[in-house]
Structure 1
Amino acid sequence: MNTTPQTVGPEALASASFTDTLGMSAARARSAVLEEQILKDPGQFRVLTGDRPTGRLHLGHYFGTLHNRVRLQNLGVEMFVIIADYQVLTDRDVADNLTGHVEELVLDYLAIGVDPARSTIFTHSAVPALNQLLLPFLSLVSVAELERNPTVKDEIAHSRQSTVSGLMFTYPAHQAADILFCKANLVPVGKDQLPHLELTRTIARRFNDRYGTGSAVFPQPDALLSSAPLLLGTDGGKMSKSRGNAITLASDAGETARLIKGAKTDSERHITYDPASRPEVSSLLLLAARCQNRTPDQVASDIGAAGAVALKRIVTEAVNEYLAPIRARRKEYAQDRAYLRHILREGNERATAVADSTLAEVRAAMNSHD
Structure 2
Amino acid sequence: MPTVPFRAIRALAIILAVSAAATGCATPAGVSPSASPAAEPSPTPSPSPSAVERIAAPLPYVDASCAELLSTASLASGFAVPVAALEVVENIYLSGSDGPLRFALRQLGGIECEWSNGEPIIANFGPNPRYVGVTLRVLPGAEDRWQYFSDYYSVEGAEQAYCGETAEPTSCLINALVADDWVELELQAAASVIGDGSNAEAVTRRLYDEFVAALSAAPASSAEWSPPTGTIPLSSECAQFVSPADAAAIIGLPVYFDGMDGGASLVAASWANSGGSPCFWAHSPEEPAGVFVSWLPGGEWAWMEQQRPGSYEAVAVPGLLPDDAAWLDCPASTGDCALDLIVGHNWIQIALSRDDADKPAVLEQLAAKVVESIRG
TM-score (norm 2): 0.29
The one of the two structures with greater contact order (alpha-carbon pairs below 8 A, sep at least 6) is: 2
TM-score scaled by length of structure 1 = 0.29
Higher helix share: 1
